[in-house]
Amino acid sequence: MKRIAFYGGSFDPVHNGHMAVARAVTEHFKLDQFVFIPAFHAPHKSRLKPTSAYDRYAMLCLVTQNESRLSVSKIEFELPEKPFSVETLSRLIEEFAGDELFFVMGADSWMDITTWREWEKVLSMTNHIVMTRPGVEIDTSHVTNEIRSRIIDLRSSAIGVPPPGDKHIYLCDFVNIDISATEVRRRSRLGDLHGDPTLRTRLQFT
């Protein structure tokens, strides 16, 4: 049985924070594989016009090409237009039957999880890893008691990752990089990327 994590998102653009999450999660959860899943177009962001899905896929391929345990999947390009996470996870479970699967999301997604289609089912289908980042508050009051009972808080904790079995939701703070794709796009529109050496450093892929 392999341990495989899937990280879904727009990745518009992919940046150093995404790569730091991939490397940290792979190390801490002793993964055999970490897979980026660029969304063809996120259903909950229907009002936004994203960069071409194939361009975002190509960018992810470029930044993972020298990482032996990191890869990129086109699964959401092959599903019906604008697939929801519940549909993507159903297909992954079928394709990787017998493996232990993890679904990675950011703090923003966790706090919005109740707006997702069939969100309670989504949280019961695989293990989930919620990655926090500076400036984003995270709590568990918006989910049900049953879901809260499966949460394991690994933030600033020496608790080890339990062996395969029950489907857990892990709250993690392995990465402390304050950057978001939304901010990158905003600064790019303002022509401000080159004026901020700190931001340029956080955008680097290696």
pLDDT digits (tens, 9 = 90+) for 20-78: 999 999 999 999 999 999 988 655 555 566 688 899 999 999 999 999 999 999 998 87
Q: Which class is domain 3-180?
A: alpha beta
> 3-class SS at 44?
helix
The pLDDT of residue 192 is 55
Residue of 204, 181, 203, 188 lying closest to 9 (CA atoms): 181
Beta bridge partners of 72: 36
Query: Each residue of 189-203: pLDDT tens digit?
Result: 445 545 554 444 444
Q: pLDDT band at 175, cuts 50/70/90?
A: confident
Percent of the chain with pLDDT over 70: 75
CA-CA-CA-CA torsion sign (151, 153, 159, 160): positive
| Domain extent listing, the chain | 3-180
> What average pLDDT does the chain have?
83
Closest CA to 114 of 81, 139, 79, 80: 139
Residue (of 178, 171, 199) closest to 25 by Cα position: 171
Task: Report the alpha-carbon distance of residue 147 to residue 189 in Å, rounded.
Answer: 40
pLDDT for 112 equals 94
Q: What is the pTM of this model?
A: 0.82
Say how many CA atoms lie within 13 Å of 76 toward its Cβ: 26
Residues 57 and 74 sit within 8 Å (Cβ to Cβ): yes
